[in-house]
């Protein structure tokens, strides 16, 4: 164990301790405090589970999670089968489109559907104009709308994990089933699907956890009786009401616990269940079938339907962004650039903050992630597995938990929360795994003998890193960098708890503009701008990593 590596691990651990372990333990400690006294105990938790209201929010969230998982699975199985197995034109295009929601912020989708499917939204107005309905139909305000919007946002995760399964199954498994006499549907149910369970589970966990972390979608749809939304309202609006504050903190802790436990459970299960021989695909694309005409038509129709729903998001937001006073009309009639004038000229601070905070977070991310990836992949230093574990765990932590814990931890003792640096620091801590995973996986692909050859040739470790490792890693690292930036740029759940006047970012601007109910157009324009920036960054990834498809798939590869 060399001295340099030892120094590196200890500094990384110090950072982790300060930015992850310390604030999160403060959060947990706080949940055990008894309001109005100096005592400790499980009092808060008891109260939470005895209160029928809070118990109901917990139940609601579970129901929502199950429904969303059910919906995404039902829609995802045929979709991923089509994408993975059928040979057809435009597959790349459809895949990219259907996977798009991964990189779009969830709130962009909500706003778009509020405009399009709202009470007097485009669809209702069109239907009423056509005389098909008398009164507007409630498309989205309610559990059904919540399930619909969250499912659309989460569908890509299921599709990614299932089609990864479909493409990597050794074709001979299915061929053997065919030879044994099981054909078509039966083979699919008895062989194909069961073999996909490990990969499916990886996606299913992400989907199931989402309702435990998403506070904003229910809030916008006027459905607040869900764990994260209640937590947000209690903490953000009733900070002075001790009881409600503690109930909020307990809600955050419980959501986090659910997330972490499920995440670990899935990880453990996937590790245990990895089928041997699964990775031995004979062809790179697996089994590809030429579908019959009817099937082909139906599958196109199906893909088109889902792609259209996804496409609605940027289209509707675009319409709203370039118009004003779009109310009670199916389509806007007054076109203007005024919204963008307001964003770019009157409040350039938001955009500036977003770039500065995300940029700083990114620099922290690289400075932390590259050495961490090096330690984890290339050394046998003690504690590296624990380091990897803690960082990966951040994937499962709700952004809200990070935000609240920073608020609690960096207020008194270490008054970091009074300085704007808390914003990039929190973004860095929250999005840490994204960059690390990417650097990690490209490091794994880098054959160690390439580095050894350099050392044997007379170059020291550091020079080897600069001359050999970095140039060969750069693609993966850059993709990770851009992905990290996108994620930091869109981040709201953590930032919403930490921002103060003058620190607002673009996502917070979107939220505030919606919240004040004044300038829906500006909120839409901001969301549209966000999508445009995301898209530009994605194009950059595609340039680096080769192919828009990879760009869209990248974040799903964990």
Partner 1 sequence: MAFIEIQNLFKRYRKVVAVNHIRLEVKQGEMLTLLGPSGCGKTTTLRCIAGLERPEEGDILIDGKSMILGGFVQPSKRGIGMVFQNYAVWPHMKVYNNIIYGLKLQKISKQKIRERAQQVLELVGLAGLEDRYPGQLSGGQQQRVALARALVRNPKVLLLDEPLSNLDAKLREKMRFEIKSLVKRMGITSVYVTHDQAEAMVISDRIVVMNSGNIVQIGTPLAIYEAPANRFVADFIGTMNFISGEIVDMPRDSDTVYVRTEFCEKMRCRTNVIADTTLGAKVNASIRPEDVEAFTEAPHAGENLFKGVIAHKAYLGNFLYLFVTIGNSMIRVQIPHHIPQEEGEELYLFLNPEKCMILR
| Residues at the contact surface with partner 1, assessed by CB under 8 A | 447, 449-450, 452-460, 463, 467-468, 471-472
CB closer to partner 1, 25 vs 457: 457
Question: Hey, what are 307's tokens?
Answer: 């792609």
* Residue nearer to partner 1 on the CB measure, 328 or 462: 462
Comparison of 186 and 543: residue with beta carbon closer to partner 1:
543
Nearest to 531 by CA among 216, 342, 219, 313: 313
Candidates 275, 250, 133, 138; CA nearest to 195 is 275
Cβ nearer to partner 1, comparing 143 with 478: 478
Tokens of 220: 């916008």
Contact 316, 528 (CB under 8 A): no
In 379-421, where does DSSP find H-type helix? 384-393, 399-409
Please calculate the CA angle 316-230-212 and round it to the nearest 5 degrees: 70
For every residue of 76-121, DSSP letters joined together read: HHHHHHHHHHB--TTHHHHHHHHHGGGTS-HHHHHHHHHHHHSTTS
Cα torsion through 474, 476, 479, 482, rounded to 10: -60
Buried-state track 407-438, b at ≥16 Cβ within 10 A, e below 16:
bbbbeeeeebbeebebbbbbbbbbbbbbbbbb
Ramachandran region, residue 7 (left: φ > 0; alpha: ψ -120 to 50; beta: rest): alpha
Nearest residue (CB) to partner 1, 380 versus 412: 380
Residue closer to partner 1 (CB basis): 29 or 453 = 453
| Closest distance to partner 1 from the beta carbon of 374 (Å) | 17
CB of 7 vs partner 1, minimal distance in Å: 18
> How many Å apart are CA 319 and CA 149, to the nearest integer?
20
Question: Minimum CB separation from partner 1 for residue 37, in Å?
Answer: 52
Nearer to partner 1, 337 or 474 (CB): 474
Residue 86 — φ and ψ, nearest 5°?
A: -90, 135
Considering the complex, what minimum distance in angstroms separates the CB of residue 392 from partner 1?
Answer: 24
Q: Min. distance of Cβ 197 from partner 1 in angstroms?
A: 32
* Calpha distance 250→196 (Å, rounded): 36
At closest approach, how far in Å is the CB of 458 from partner 1? 5
Q: How far apart are CA 476 and CA 510, in angstroms?
A: 32
Cα angle at 376 between 370 and 380, to 5 degrees?
135
Q: Least distance to partner 1 from the beta carbon of 390, Å?
A: 24
For residues 468 and 527, which CB has a smaller minimum distance to partner 1 in the complex?
468
Taking the complex as a whole, the smallest distance from the CB of residue 450 to partner 1 amounts, in Å, to 5
Nearest distance, CB of residue 378 and partner 1, angstroms: 12
Residue among 441 and 467 whose Cβ is closer to partner 1:
467
């Amino acid at each position: 164990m060399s001295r340099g590596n030892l120094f590196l691990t200890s500094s990384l651990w110090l950072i982790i301790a300060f930015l992850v372990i310390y604030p999160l333990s403060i959060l947990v400690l706080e949940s055990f405090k008894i309001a109005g006294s100096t005592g400790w105990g499980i009092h808060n938790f008891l109260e939470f589970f005895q209160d029928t209201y809070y118990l109901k929010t917990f139940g609601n969230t579970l129901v929502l999670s199950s429904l969303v998982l059910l919906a995404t699975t039902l829609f995802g199985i045929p979709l991923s089968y089509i994408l993975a197995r059928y040979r057809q034109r435009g597959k790349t295009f459809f895949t990219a489109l259907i996977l798009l929601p991964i990189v779009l912020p969830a709130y962009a989708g909500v706003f778009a559907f509020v405009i399009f499917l709202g009470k007097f939204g485009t669809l209702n107005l069109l239907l009423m104009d056509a005389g098909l309905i008398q009164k507007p139909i409630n498309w989205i305000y309610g559990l059904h709308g919540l399930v619909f919007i969250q499912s659309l946002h989460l569908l890509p995760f299921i599709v990614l994990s299932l089609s990864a399964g479909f493409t990597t199954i050794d074709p001979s498994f299915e061929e053997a089933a065919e030879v044994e006499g099981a054909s078509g549907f039966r083979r699919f149910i008895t062989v194909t699907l069961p073999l996909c369970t490990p990969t499916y589970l990886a996606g299913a966990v992400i989907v199931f956890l989402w309702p435990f972390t998403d506070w904003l979608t229910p809030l916008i749809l006027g459905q607040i009786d869900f764990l994260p939304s209640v937590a947000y309202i209690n903490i953000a609006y009733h900070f002075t009401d001790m009881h409600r504050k503690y109930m909020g903190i307990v809600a955050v802790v419980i959501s986090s616990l659910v997330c972490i436990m499920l995440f670990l459970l899935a990880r453990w299960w996937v590790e245990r269940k990895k089928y041997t021989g699964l990775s031995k695909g004979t062809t790179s694309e697996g089994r590809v079938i030429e579908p019959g005409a009817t099937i082909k038509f139906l599958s196109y129709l199906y893909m088109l339907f889902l792609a259209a729903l996804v496409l609605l998001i940027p289209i509707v937001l675009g319409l709203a962004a370039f118009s004003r006073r779009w109310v009670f009309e199916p389509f806007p009639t007054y076109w203007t650039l005024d919204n963008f004038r307001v964003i770019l000229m009157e409040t350039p601070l938001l955009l500036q903050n977003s770039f500065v905070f995300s940029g700083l977070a990114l620099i922290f991310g690289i400075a932390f992630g590259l050495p961490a990836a090096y330690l984890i992949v290339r050394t046998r230093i003690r504690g590296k597995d624990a380091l990897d574990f803690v960082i990966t765990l951040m994937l499962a932590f709700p952004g809200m938990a990070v935000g609240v814990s920073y608020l609690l931890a960096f207020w008194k003792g270490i008054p970091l929360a009074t300085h704007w640096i808390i914003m990039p620091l929190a973004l860095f801590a929250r999005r840490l795994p994204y960059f690390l995973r990417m650097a990690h996986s490209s490091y794994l692909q880098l054959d160690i003998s390439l580095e050894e050859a350099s050392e044997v040739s007379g170059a020291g470790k550091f020079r080897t890193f600069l001359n050999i490792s970095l140039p060969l890693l750069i693609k993966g690292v850059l993709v990770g960098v851009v992905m990290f930036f996108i994620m930091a740029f869109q981040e709201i759940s953590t930032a919403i708890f930490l921002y103060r006047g003058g620190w607002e970012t673009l996502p917070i601007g979107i939220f505030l503009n919606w919240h004040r109910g004044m300038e829906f157009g500006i909120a839409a324009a901001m969301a549209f701008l966000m999508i445009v920036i995301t898209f530009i960054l994605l194009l950059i990834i595609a340039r680096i990593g080769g192919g828009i498809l990879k760009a869209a798939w990248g974040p799903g590869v964990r």
